Amino acid sequence: MSAIYKRELRSYFGSMYGYIYLAFTLLVIGIYITTHNLLGGTAEMSYTFSDMAFMSIFLIPVLTMRSFAEERRNKTDMFLLSLPIKPVSIVLGKYFAMLSVFAIPVAVLSIFGLVLRLFSKGSALLGSLGASLAAGISYLLLGALLIAVCMLISSLTDSVVIAAIGGFAAVLLLFGMDYLVVIAQYLDVLFAEKAAVLSFVGLIVLLGLFALAAGLLSESALVGMITAAATVIPLSAAFAIWNDAFAGLFAKVLTRLSAFATFSDMTLGAFSLSGLVFFASAIFFSVYLTVLMLERRRWKS
Amino acid sequence: MIEVKNLTKKYGANTAVDDVSFKIRNGRIYGFLGPNGAGKSTTMNIIAGSLAATSGSVQINGYDICNDPIEAKKQIGYLPEIPPLYSDMTAFEYLHFVAEAKGVKPARAQKQVNEVMEQTGIAHMKDRLISGLSKGYKQRVGIAQAMLGNPDVIILDEPTVGLDPQQIIEIRELIRRLGQTKTVILSSHILAEISEVCDHIIIISRGKIVADDTLEALEARAGDETVLRMTIKGERSGILDVLSGYPSIREVNVLKEADGTLELEIKLPRGVDLRDDLFFAMAERRYAVISTQQMTASLEEVFLSLTDRTEGTQDKHALRERKRREKMLGNVKEDAPAPEQNDLGGDAE
């Protein structure tokens, strides 16, 4: 794993690629530090990290687009598979390399925060250390999740451009889930007596998308249909029995599944174990799928 | 030793490798020969572990590639058809990465990288970016990479494709040197190349093995036959009737029939010369022998006949295939230059 990790890091900083990524990210950080902290007059970093999370919609796909797509294009992925390394080590080596590159600007931002704290000691500008720490850790977790998702998308294609656009679309979709929650909650209020049905329909659509993704990833219509059946049938049964419990359920489920909502909760004062578990399991799931995709290259191609 | 048993690889309805079994013994250079699309690369990819077989097993020094992939892969160095290079690294960095990835201890990695660079003649190019190397040097970096980790077996998939004649000679020389200490498996669709460097030849066609023998044995097989090519003017049935009177004739093929002229290929055991007899026999029936040419079958013909045989009797298709392949072999002859100029330098762009 360490060989892959080192090679990946070298490929970031052996070319302009890594430096351009860093330069752009640091520029954004500079702008946010100036507007939020210097002009805003606070050493607390929660809002800075919150806005960085928005910027990561654009930054993460660029960071991850090459990871597997380029290997596939150069056919070096087959070579990696012929080396005495486990596929999971290949994926983790790449993943940790991307995490490391991602962590560099976060470290810089944290140093900024520390310096600001030193200068605002004893004043009202100091803000809460806990809030800043929570925001920093949450931002790292969010980044780690987005990197894992975009890495998975990069492993599905042999075009770097498609990997970037696909990654962007996926991250945007995750980001948009927050707005979907708001819309769902609004509809629940608007059609209060039909809220349970609305919620049920929403959940069916969600599971349908999940089944579609499963079918596409496995390239098997059967897997997609089995997934759909295995999820939709129990849900329908549950709806038939506990009809009332469904009111507002869709919005709740979406909130639970939303990476950005979890991130906002955790940065703005509700740092929670359940949030940690959410990020950890979502990261694990994405990395695991990437390993499966890499191993599938041994069967197809 | 590599033992391949009943290996099959299917892509949907398409069978690329069909129930292939063979053994690779230590300390020889093996040639894996077959026309394009015969399943060479697929077989090699499966042996190297970068492709999974539909069924069958591959054991390398007793390690199964499926059940014990890490140990099995340590026994092999593999150069795929397209050299797996990272163009953003220098040759040295790349080799260092591969050594580390193959689990060579850091203390020994440096030494080993220097050794393989010396052996493949790329030491003076080590600090160049791979993207700036010529095709010949890229291929050598690829071979150097395969040698790292000191594997017992080195698998090279079409290592000379796309190289100029000078580079081909150099790579061949390198393979010969490698063969002195290691087992080398070399795939190619070029017979001349295989027969020049390999001790043992496995011929594959349409996913099946059609020959698995030493070079000498294959040559002997080729050599026990004499082919007589005759062009005779006359009636087809009459001519064939005359020929059927000679029991020593093994096979008669009509190559062409036009304007009452037959072009025949007559296969005879070696040492039998029927030219005089046939001439007078034909003359007696008033068939004019226009030309006679006697040839001893070469390895090439064995290759062609072996790879043709599996293609069934779809005449038109077989003929086209044969023509294509003859053309290919013809090209090869032109490609292979005199092995005199053996200068390793002056290769970079």
CATH of residue B121's domain is 3.40.50.300
Looking at the structure, do residues B197 and B229 belong to the same domain, yes or no? no
**Does residue B31 lie within any of the structural domains?**
yes
| Residue B234 falls inside a structural domain | yes
Q: Is residue B340 part of a domain?
A: no
Does one domain contain both B51 and B118? yes
Give the chain A residue whose CA is nearest to the CA of B155: A82
Cβ-defined contact of B50 to A7 (cutoff 8 Å): no
Closest CA–CA distance from residue A23 to any residue of chain B (Å): 20
Which pLDDT band, with edges at 50, 70 and 90, does A264 fall under? confident
Nearest-5° angle of CA B252, CA B256, CA B258?
130
In a domain, residue B212? The reply is no
Residue B64 confidence class, pLDDT cut points 50, 70, 90: very high
Interchain contact B152–A (C-beta under 8 A): no
pLDDT digits (tens, 9 = 90+) for A131-160: 888 889 999 999 999 999 999 999 999 999
ipTM: 0.84
Average pLDDT on B164-177 reads 87
Mean pLDDT computed over every residue of chain A: 90
Counting the structural domains of chain B, the total is: 2
- What DSSP string runs through A23-74? HHHHHHHHHHIIIIIITTT----HHHHHHHHHHHHHHHHHHHTHHHHHHHHT
- Those residues with Cβ within 8 angstroms of residue A104's Cβ, 6 or more apart along the chain or in another chain: A22
Mean pLDDT of B115-144: 91
B335: confidence class by pLDDT, cuts 50, 70, 90: very low
Under an 8 A CB cutoff, do B98 and A83 touch? yes
At B342 the pLDDT is 40
- Note whether B157 and B11 are same-domain residues: yes
- Weakest mean pLDDT among A96-105, A222-231, B270-279, B337-346: B337-346
Among B45, B84, B103, select the one facing A76 at the smallest CB separation: B84
Same domain for B145 and B42, yes or no, is: yes
Distance from the A108 Cα atom to the nearest Cα atom in chain B, whole angstroms: 27
Do the domain assignments include residue B153? yes
Mean pLDDT of A89-101: 96
Query: Domain check: are B9 and B71 in the same one?
Result: yes
On whether both B40 and B125 belong to a single domain, the answer is: yes
Nearest beta carbon to residue B52 from set A15, A79, A299: A299
| Cβ contact, residue pair B89, A10, below 8 Å | yes
For B249, phi then psi, to 5°, come to -70, 125
Is B84 within 8 Å of chain A by CB?
A: yes
Same domain, B175 and B272: no
Tens digit of pLDDT for each residue in A155-198? 999 999 999 999 999 999 999 988 888 888 888 888 888 888 88
- Confidence class for position B43, pLDDT limits 50, 70, 90: very high
**List of chain A residues whose C-beta atoms are within 8 Å of the C-beta of residue B51:** 78, 298-299, 301
Do B192 and B243 reside in the same domain of the chain?
no
For residue B343, being part of any structural domain is answered with: no
For residue A4, list chain B residues with Cβ-Cβ distance below 8 A: 101
- From chain A, pick out residues whose CB is under 8 angstroms from the CB of B50: 78-79, 81-82, 298
Q: B329 lies in a domain?
A: yes
Residue B262: how many other CB atoms lie within 10 Å: 21
The CA distance from B143 to B117, in Å, is 10
Q: Residue A14: list chain B partners with CB under 8 A.
A: 88-89, 93
pLDDT at A252 over 60: yes
- Distance (Å) from the alpha carbon of B265 to chain A's nearest alpha carbon: 43
Residues B38 and B104 in one domain: yes
pLDDT grade for A265, boundaries at 50, 70 and 90: confident
Question: Pick from B342, B299, B83: which is nearest to B190 by CA?
Answer: B299
Q: What CATH number is associated with residue B282? A: 3.30.70.260
Structural domain for B95, as ranges: 2-206
pLDDT digits (tens, 9 = 90+) for A206-243: 899 889 988 888 878 898 899 899 988 988 888 888 88
Alpha-carbon B154 to chain mean position: 16
Query: What's the token pair of residue A203?
Result: 């959940």
Kindly report, residue by residue over B206-263, the tens digit of the pLDDT.
Answer: 888 888 888 778 777 766 777 888 889 888 888 888 888 888 888 888 888 888 888 8
Q: Which of B63, B73, B86, B155 to mutate to test the interface with A (most CBs of A within 10 A)?
A: B86
Of B175, B206, B237, the last residue of a domain is: B206
Q: Kindly state the tokens that stand for A242.
A: 């506990």
What is the average per-residue pLDDT within B168-187?
89
Please name which of B165, B201, B187, B205 lies closest in space to residue B325, comparing C-alpha atoms. Answer: B205
Please determine, for residue A8, whether its predicted confidence score (pLDDT) is greater than 70: yes
The size of the A-B interface in CB pairs under 8 A is 77
Is residue B214 in some structural domain?
Answer: no
Examine the domain organization and report whether B202 and B235 are in the same domain. no
Closest partner residue to B52 among A3, A10, A298, by Cβ? A298
Residue that is last in its domain, among B153, B173, B206: B206
* Segment among A71-80, A254-263, B300-309 with least mean pLDDT: B300-309
- The stretch A103-131 carries a mean pLDDT of 86
Report the pLDDT value the prediction gives residue B222, as an integer from 0 to 100: 65
Does residue B184 sit in the same domain as residue B249? no
Looking at the structure, do residues B52 and B127 belong to the same domain, yes or no?
A: yes
Query: Full-prediction pTM beyond 0.90?
Result: no
Q: Is A122 on the interface with B (CB under 8 A)?
A: no
CB-CB neighbors (< 8 A) of B100 in chain A: 2-3, 6
* Residue A283, pLDDT score: 96
Task: Give the rounded percent of residues in chain A with a pLDDT score beyond 90.
Answer: 50
CA distance A301 to A75: 10
